[in-house]
Each structure stands twice: as C-alpha cells, then as structure tokens.
Chain A
Amino acid sequence: MTEKKTEIKNLTYEQAFAELETIVDTLESGQLPLEQALSLYERGQLLAQFCGNLLDQAELKIRELNPAGKGAAEEGE
C-alpha cells in the first residue's frame, strides 16, 4: 500500500479520520499479509485515539485578518 506516513500529530481531524477510514476499508477488504494488517491496525488505533483527543481538547481557534486588507495579521485568541 502506498503510505503517506505523515506524523499523526500534524494531521487535521479530517485528514486523520479520512486516513482511518481508508485503513478500515483496506482491512475490511482482506487480502493483506498479517504483518501489514497488524501495522495498519496499530496506526488506525493511533489515528482514532488522536481524533478522540482532538475532539476532547478542542477549543475554537480564531484568527482575525487585518481590517485594512494589508496582508494578514495573526491574532490568536
């Protein structure tokens, strides 16, 4: 399988969840060497855990663009 083994912590929720779904689909289709299935499963578990943590710890991040329209001023909240 081709793998974009991005470090999980750099993924967005949606990316992590999408990869998790792909993994599940792949596992469900069978036809995988056991070792590969196991490592996929492990990554899947990490992704699921990561998604859960994201949901638990989420706080709305708000950034305001500069009203003057001169580039974007970063303002965390």
Chain B
Amino acid sequence: MLQPPLFPANSISVSELTRYLREWMESDELLRDVWVQGEISNLSRPSSGHIYFTIKDEYSALKCVIWRTSAGRASANLQSGLAVEVHGYVSIYERDGAYQLYVDTVRPAGEGSLFQEFLRLKARLEEEGLFDAARKKEIPQVPARIGIVTSPSGAALQDILNTLRRRYPLVEVVLAPAAVQGENAPAELAASIERLNREPGMDVIIVARGGGSLEDLWAFNDERVVRAVAASHVPIISGVGHETDFTLTDFAADLRAPTPTAAAEQAVPDQMDVRERLLGTQRRLKDALSGIAREEKLNLAEINRKLSQASPLMRVRSDRQRLDELAGRSLTGLQHSFEIKKTQTYGLDQRLKALNPYGVLKRGYAIVTNGADEIIRSVDQTFQNDALTIRICDGVVPARVSDEPRKFQAGEECND
C-alpha cells in the first residue's frame, strides 16, 4: 500500500484535467491539422445532421465526428467498411473524456497518392517559377474582349455569361470550348488557352469549371494545362470548383477566383461604377470648359481695358474734349467782345444823337437862315427889313428883322 505523503499535493477535478488535456491537444501542431487513413465503422447519422463514425486499422480505432455544417460535401458517400482518408483536428469531447477527430474533409483512400502527385508537381513547377508573384500579369480594369475556356454545356459558362450580362454587357465574349473533365480535358484546355492567345485584342481569359470531386477537377492539375496558363500572354483568371478547391491552374493563373461567377466578377467592372465614373468625367469636362471660359473672359476684359487705354479713339476723345473746351472759351470770348462793342456802339449812338443839330431844336433852340439859306451865325449878316427863316423842332417860322441889329458888347456875348 502506497503511503500517502505527509503533505499531499492538491488534487484537481476531472474537468480541470480534461480541459488541460483538451487545450494541450488543440495547441499541438500535428493534432491541429492532420490526415488519417483507415476504414470506416460504426457510422451513424442521427437527425441532428452530425455524422459519427470510427476509423480503424488492424491495431487501433479513432472516434470521428463531422459537424452538420461541413457534412454536406465531405460525407455523401460514406459507408461502413470504406477505406478513407479524413482530415481535421484532434480534441477531447469533455463530457466523455474521449478524444476524437473533428473531420472537415473526407476522401477515398488512394486519392492520397493523387494528392502526393499533386504536391510533387506543385513543388516542381513552383521551383521552375511558374507560380512566381513576379510573373502575374495585371488584370485590365475594363476589358473589351474576354476569352472563356470552359465546357460549352456546363453551368459554369451560364454563370459566367449571366454575371457578365448583369455587370458589364459591353464586353465581347470569345468562347473557346474545351472538355473540363475526362481524358481529353487537359489537352483541350491547353489548346483552347493557346488559341485564345492567338485571337486579336484579347484582354483577359477566364478558365473555369463548376464544382466537382477532386477527380472531376483533376484536369486543372495537369501539367499541360498549368504550363499553358503560365505561358499565356493574355492575363488569366481561374475560377475552378468551389471556394475550398485549389488547383495548380489556380496557382499559375494571374488571379484566382473561388468560383466561375466570381471569376466573371473579377474580370469586368460593375457598370454602375462605370456609369458613375463616366458622369464624373463628364462633369469634369464641363467644369474644365467653364473654367477656361471664365479665365478667357477675365483675360479679355483685361486686354480690353489695356486696348482702350492705348486706343487712338482715346486720343480723339481727349482731343475733342479739348476742342470743346477751346470752342467754349472762344465763344465766351466772342460774346464778351460783342457785348463790349454793343455797349460802345450804344454810347456812340447816344453821342451821335446828341450831336444831331436837329436834336438840339427839341430843347428849344432854333436855327435862323437868311433868304440865301445861309445859317446866320453873326449879327453882321443881318440888316433891317431882311426876311429870315426860323427853324424850330416842329416847323419853320418866316420872320422879318424889324430894327437895326445890335451887336453884344464885350462881356455880353454868350459863353461857348
């Protein structure tokens, strides 16, 4: 009997241990991602949709579970007794303390050797540089002509055509039909890729096939096809199988799309984006022109201003102004001198009037003439009984000298 130590270590609970083991397993690199081969037994498909089975060989057994979510593709042909290879991770079902394989992929045993072949070819071509990122050609954003290599009767073609119609119907499709599975598929696929490369104006090629089993897709791992893809001078988009399928064609292609539809989506822009871009460019066109027009108008205004400053018209105008000024001034001058003349003339006239001998008569003076019509200026011209004529302002008075005329003495004469 084991003697208990004096100070026993603390025990841990079952669930603590189990959780510890689970975490340990789940962090192990091999257990996280492992292929296991064996024969199926105890297969059960409860209504939950999960699938439980055991795989075993002569010595051991391993519990396996496939969750409903991954059951669809992986499990179609499972049956007890079948030799398979299953892929997944190992962990513990804590309630039972049982470790098991959580399976995500199942394939018939024997495909494993196909897979080995795949890996060998992949390694070889990779070493040759066929998959180098540097070799990848750029996919044109807006292609005019698209080549499609696929089966003319497959769903993949319809998926692609529908996608192209919806997204970008401007594109021209050149279909190069090829079998996508079976003996002839690799040769036909390679030939079609090469023929599309000889077509003029090819912008991009889609190599596609709908989903299928690993064997169905096998042609796309054929060296001839892979080399044709790598040698294509037209960019190639691959869309083979489903999201999870990878073929060597995918590695060699310039762009790998998960499905044929996705390949078509990658090949062309969405026409909504194209339209938007077109509208934007149209707007830029209009803006650019009105910008130019605005600038030209400014330039024009500026030049116009300069021109009118330098213009002879400007001089004519300024000369005319000066002329008007001069004319104005000369007119004033003229009027002025006219006024002066008028005043002078008036003065002269007045003086003239004053000098009119007849004017004097109005003031009461008289002019006396003798019979010979001589104006009498002196007493010496008259004698007693002479007939004289006295002229006053409104008529003449005949008169006779009644007495001897008498001459003034000194001091008596009139002042002149």
Known: A13-B142, A14-B142, A55-B275. A41 touches B289 (CB 8 A): yes
Contact B172 A61 (CB under 8 A): yes
Contact B144 A14 (CB under 8 A): yes
Contact A64 B142 (CB under 8 A): no
Contact A23 B285 (CB under 8 A): yes
Within 8 A of B (CB), among A25-45: 27-28, 30, 32, 34, 37-38, 41, 44-45
**B231 on the interface (CB 8 Å rule)?**
no
**B181 on the interface (CB 8 Å rule)?**
no
Known: A13-B170, A55-B271. A20 touches B165 (CB 8 A): no
Smallest CB-CB A-B distances: 9 pairs: A27-B288, A58-B169, A58-B170, A12-B144, A41-B289, A64-B175, A62-B173, A48-B282, A61-B172
* Residue-wise interface mask of B (158-190) relative to A, using a CB-CB cutoff of 8 A (1 in contact, 0 not): 000100110011111111110000000000000
**B111 on the interface (CB 8 Å rule)?**
no
* Residue-wise interface mask of B (270-302) relative to A, using a CB-CB cutoff of 8 A (1 in contact, 0 not): 010011011001101100110111011000000
Contact A28 B144 (CB under 8 A): no
* Residue-wise interface mask of B (126-149) relative to A, using a CB-CB cutoff of 8 A (1 in contact, 0 not): 000000000000000011100000
Q: How many residues of chain B are within 8 Å of chain A by beta carbon?
A: 38
Contact B171 A69 (CB under 8 A): no
Main SS at interface, chain B: helix
Q: In the complex, which residues of chain B have a beta carbon less than 8 angstroms from the beta carbon of A41?
A: 285, 288-289
Known: A34-B296, A65-B192. A59 touches B169 (CB 8 A): yes
Chain B: minimal CB distance from A61 (Å): 5
**B78 on the interface (CB 8 Å rule)?**
no
**A63 on the interface (CB 8 Å rule)?**
yes
Q: How many residues of chain A are within 8 Å of chain B by beta carbon?
A: 35
Contact B144 A64 (CB under 8 A): no
Which of B164, B165, B196, B278 meets A52, CB within 8 Å? Answer: B278
Contact B165 A60 (CB under 8 A): yes
Contact A60 B278 (CB under 8 A): no
A-B CB contact pairs (8 Å), 25 listed: A12-B144, A14-B143, A15-B144, A17-B142, A17-B278, A20-B281, A23-B285, A24-B288, A27-B285, A28-B288, A30-B292, A32-B292, A34-B292, A38-B289, A48-B281, A48-B282, A58-B168, A58-B169, A60-B165, A63-B175, A64-B152, A64-B174, A65-B195, A65-B196, A72-B195
Chain B: minimal CB distance from A49 (Å): 9
Residue of A nearest to B170 (CB): A58
Complex CA–CA separation, A21 to B275 (angstroms): 14
* Residue-wise interface mask of B (189-207) relative to A, using a CB-CB cutoff of 8 A (1 in contact, 0 not): 0011001100100000000
List the interface of chain A (C-beta within 8 A of B). 12-15, 17, 20-21, 23-24, 27-28, 30, 32, 34, 37-38, 41, 44-45, 48, 51-52, 54-55, 58-65, 67, 69, 72
Which of A12, A23, A45, A72 meets B199, CB within 8 Å? Answer: A72
Q: In the complex, which residues of chain A have a beta carbon less than 8 angstroms from the beta carbon of B285?
A: 20, 23-24, 27, 41, 44-45, 48
Contact A28 B284 (CB under 8 A): yes
Which of A12, A37, A54 meets B292, CB within 8 Å? Answer: A37
